[in-house]
């Protein structure tokens, strides 16, 4: 339940699509991820009566790095790429967060993602703070050689600030296991020894963890299990639509399908699919492996991706990128549960609309925390030189995600707030408590 609004009264949006062009808050402001993070943090801090000094410390990143990376391209040109690394907090341990390669990377986006990582790690109670990195580039137009040279130079520029006890990168949008292998090797060459624990999300044969690739999707499936149990919905009656069919969306779909959920729709960059009787996810994955796309799959009809997420379902899972659910489409959603597989898929204005419509939100800092939890497992295994089986990884992940769901729900009920604000309050409370214990070095 929501007792107060995150949006000032003068900028508050009524839950109707017609209000879209009349509010003081511009759409550009609404979709700025850093402003959204700030608003949610401030609201949680206010509800907690957070000490003013701690509030100021946690409101801003501890460090922001900007580097300009010269790269020799295959055609002989030298191109200069801009890269970022933002370390939001190290109060609870080394900072942790992915590195993304995308033309849309911006400092505000990286700031927001770094802070979300701080709160995400605190929600699942693992000993990391938050960080994020990115390079403005289009990895789809670059060769492997160009990507490797860019990655290694970026790592070298960040060398002083990375390390198993400082800041531990991981893959994100546009990066993968190979990117992490390059980063690990570059760091190791400078250290004159192999340091596998400097990054996570590596190939298993060089210190990666079993179960890491599926972990975010697995965490989503666990919190969905908990949510339908909380709301009294049977698995057999649970219809699911996913937006995004990359690593997160495809693994979530596969695991939910295997548990008996009915996957009605998949919306992806190159098209959408819908089948009222349910999509055979195993068959769809086989089709994509062969065709390189979900388009043309014979087991479902083609559907408009933007329209697909507004169809009736029990669970909607945005699993791609930020700002998918906004003031422009939130009122049109017909789901009972919104499970945020992506980071920041819902704007603060959309939050108000969803709350007014009674949608049960599983916020990103809880729902997609399976990935960073498995990254923590990988970091631990690298540091002790002993590796768990996939079954052991999954068992530990399931327990942490289940306990974290229950912690957030208990916080929501005891403080009379919605799930998102409860998750923020829980996280901010944990980080603030540690920061206060440590004191301030001056």
Angle at alpha carbon of residue 410, lines to 408 and 415, rounded to 5°: 95
Q: Say how many CA atoms lie within 13 Å of 9 toward its Cβ.
A: 1
- The verdict on whether 96 is a catalytic residue reads no
Rounded distance between C-alpha atoms, residue 178 and residue 189, angstroms: 16
Beta strands 313-318; 335-339: pairing state: parallel
Beta strands 301-303; 271-274: pairing state: antiparallel
Rounded distance between C-alpha atoms, residue 137 and residue 133, angstroms: 13
Record the tokens describing residue 20, joined without a space. Answer: 């879209």
| Residue bearing tokens 């997420």 | 309
- Contact between 426 and 411 under an 8 Å Cβ cutoff? The reply is yes
Record the tokens describing residue 125, joined without a space. Answer: 């109670």
DSSP state of 166: T
DSSP secondary structure of 76-112 = S-EEEEEEEEEE---SSSSEEEEEEEETT--HHHHHH
Residues in a beta bridge with 170: 98
Cβ count within 10 A of residue 357: 14
- Contact between 102 and 134 under an 8 Å Cβ cutoff? The reply is yes
Record the tokens describing residue 43, joined without a space. Answer: 């609201």
Rounded distance between C-alpha atoms, residue 225 and residue 229, angstroms: 6
What b/e readout covers 313-328, taking b as 16+ CB neighbours within 10 angstroms?
A: bbbbbbbbbbbbbbbb
Residues in a beta bridge with 346: 325
Phi/psi for 82 (5° steps) reads -95, 130
Residue 352 host element (H or E) = helix 348-356
Q: How far apart are the first and last CA of the chain?
A: 41
DSSP state of 60: S
Strands (E), 191-245: 239-243
Q: Per the residue annotation, which of 132, 202, 236, 254 is the catalytic one?
A: 132
| Residues acting as catalytic residues | 132
């Amino acid at each position: 339940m929501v007792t107060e609004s995150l949006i000032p009264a003068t900028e508050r949006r009524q839950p109707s699509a017609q209000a879209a062009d009349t509010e003081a808050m511009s759409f550009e402001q609404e979709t700025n991820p850093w402003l959204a993070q700030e608003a949610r943090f401030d609201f949680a801090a206010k509800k907690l009566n957070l000490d003013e000094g701690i509030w100021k410390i946690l409101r801003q990143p501890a460090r922001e790095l900007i580097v300009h990376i010269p790269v020799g391209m295959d055609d002989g040109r030298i191109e200069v790429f801009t890269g970022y690394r933002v370390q939001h907090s190290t109060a609870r341990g080394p900072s942790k967060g992915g590195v993304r390669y995308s033309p849309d990377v911006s400092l505000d986006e990286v700031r927001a993602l770094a802070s979300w990582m701080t709160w995400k790690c605190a929600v699942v109670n693992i000993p990391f703070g938050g960080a994020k990195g990115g390079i403005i580039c289009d990895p789809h137009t670059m060769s492997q050689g160009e990507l490797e040279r860019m990655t290694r130079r970026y790592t070298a520029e960040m060398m002083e600030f990375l390390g198993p006890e400082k800041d531990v990168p991981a893959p994100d949008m546009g990066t993968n296991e190979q990117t992490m292998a390059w980063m690990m090797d570059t760091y190791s060459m400078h250290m004159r020894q192999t340091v596998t624990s400097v990054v996570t999300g590596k190939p298993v044969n060089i210190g990666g963890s079993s179960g890491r690739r599926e972990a975010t999707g697995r965490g989503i499936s666990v919190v969905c299990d908990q949510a339908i149990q909380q709301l009294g919905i049977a698995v057999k009656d649970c219809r699911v639509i996913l937006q995004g069919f990359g690593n997160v969306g495809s693994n979530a779909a596969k695991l939910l399908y295997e548990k008996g959920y009915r996957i009605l729709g998949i919306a992806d960059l190159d098209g959408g699919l819908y089948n009222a009787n349910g999509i055979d996810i195993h068959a769809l994955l086989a089709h994509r492996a062969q065709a390189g796309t979900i388009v043309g799959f014979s087991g479902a009809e083609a559907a408009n991706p933007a329209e697909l997420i507004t169809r009736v379902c029990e669970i909607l899972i945005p699993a791609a990128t930020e700002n998918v659910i906004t003031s422009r489409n939130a009122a049109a959603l017909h789901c009972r549960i919104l499970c945020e597989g992506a980071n920041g898929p819902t704007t603060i204005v959309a939050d108000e609309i969803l709350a007014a419509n009674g949608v049960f939100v599983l916020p990103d800092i809880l729902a997609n925390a399976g990935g960073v939890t498995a990254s923590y497992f990988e970091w631990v295994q690298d540091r002790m030189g002993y590796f768990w089986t996939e079954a052991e990884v999954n068992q530990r992940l399931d327990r942490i995600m289940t306990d974290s769901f229950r912690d957030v729900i208990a916080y929501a009920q005891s403080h009379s707030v919605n799930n998102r604000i409860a998750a923020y309050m829980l996280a901010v409370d944990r980080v603030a408590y540690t920061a206060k214990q440590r004191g301030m070095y001056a």
